[in-house]
Amino acid sequence: MISENELWLLSFYRVSEISGALFFGRLARSMRPSSIQADMTKHFSDEAMHAWYWTDCIERLGAKPLKLDVAYQDQYLVAAGMPVNIMEILAITQVFERRVINQYKRHSRTVGTHQDVCQTIARIMQDERWHIQWIRNALQEMEPEYGKDHIETTMQRYMQADMEVYRKTMREHEERVRHLIHTHRGPDDV
């Protein structure tokens, strides 16, 4: 069995993956066929599978996922504002995906993390690395249209918003994630 706090955290990951899948699915459906639309479609499929991996992991640990009403991404709009074009959507997604990788790395390195959780994280991390790569490539391809400086400024704005959201989330849920907050701080940690 897992603790109530561990169950909450895994359920939090799960609902964030569900939110990502729904967002990218709607976005991919609204786009004209292109390389970005194709990658967005794979991205949405990956996010849906990640939600399933967390569901399966939680059940293998003898629990049922908790119903959580708010995902991590939901707080981004308040902190950063609504993205107004595909470049801004990709920029905020790039920042978010980096946060996900950082969080999953920290979690998998935390002493006492169950083997099933570590295996689920490892499985998801394969896709997360690809997410970072395809978005990086797409943003580079957009430089002639938006300008490299403008893209970098947009990324910086979203990194600031991400730090704000991350700090707020950690404060609000400190009791549940204390084991992650105080172990294995890395260069990307806030």
pLDDT tens track for 161-175? 999 988 888 887 777
- Asked if 61 and 55 touch (Cβ cutoff 8 Å), the reply is no
Per-residue confidence (pLDDT) for residue 185, from 0 to 100:
43
Q: For the chain, what are the domain ranges?
A: 4-178
Q: Which two tokens stand for residue 90?
A: 């990709």
Low-confidence ranges of the chain (pLDDT < 70): 179-190
pLDDT digits (tens, 9 = 90+) for 32-62: 999 999 999 999 999 999 999 999 999 999 9
CB 176 within 8 A of CB 9: yes
Cα dist. 7→54, 129, 185 in Å?
10, 25, 22
Tell me which fold the domain 4-178 belongs to: Ferritin (1.20.1260)
What number of other Cβ atoms are within 10 A of residue 187's Cβ? 5
